[in-house]
Amino acid sequence: MSDALSQTAVDLNPAMRPLDWLLGTWESEEPGQGSFPTISPFLYNETLHFTHVGQPVINITFNALHAETNKPLHRESGFIRIQPGTNNVAFIIAQNSGLVEIEEGELDGQKLTLQSRALARTSFAKKPHVQQITRVLHLRSDGRLEQKVFMALENQPLTQHLHITYRRTS
């Protein structure tokens, strides 16, 4: 089933122009690295989609697969908003794990640095619960997009969890 709005060519909302460098589909060239003190290290592949339908938001989906087994790992879906006239940016994200987050931060050129401001989860979410997330997305000078995600749990301090680099495929 296709979404008629996403198939129609519309101009990017002017409020979102500072983030136009994100638009398109990005795929990991090499597997990303995942680790955390409470789990075994793993490698993953991920596809990111940044799209728009002319509203003052960018639609996002992140789909990660285990690099060796191709088993789905996690999915994130949501929106990016920017406070007009500022460099203040917000990610509103729902994950298939039952975690919903609002991350806010700043846009500095082609680099986004975000920190969780609100986290909510299903009542039966797996413990220990995530307490904090920090995300950095940066368009490197070689045209690749790099993402680092840091996470803190109830019993673990803020630690790098994910690191991956993508190339634009569309």
C-alpha triplet 49, 54, 59: angle, nearest 5°: 25
Give the domain ranges of the chain. 4-168
pLDDT tens for each residue of the chain, 170 residues long: 444 444 468 999 999 999 999 999 999 999 999 999 989 999 999 999 999 999 999 999 999 999 999 999 999 999 999 999 999 999 999 999 999 999 999 999 999 999 999 999 999 998 899 999 999 999 999 999 999 999 999 989 999 999 999 999 99
| pTM of the shown model | 0.91
Residue 78 near residue 93 (C-beta atoms within 8 A):
yes
d(CA 170, CA 168): 6
Unique residue bearing structure tokens 């749990």: 153
Which class is domain 4-168? mainly beta
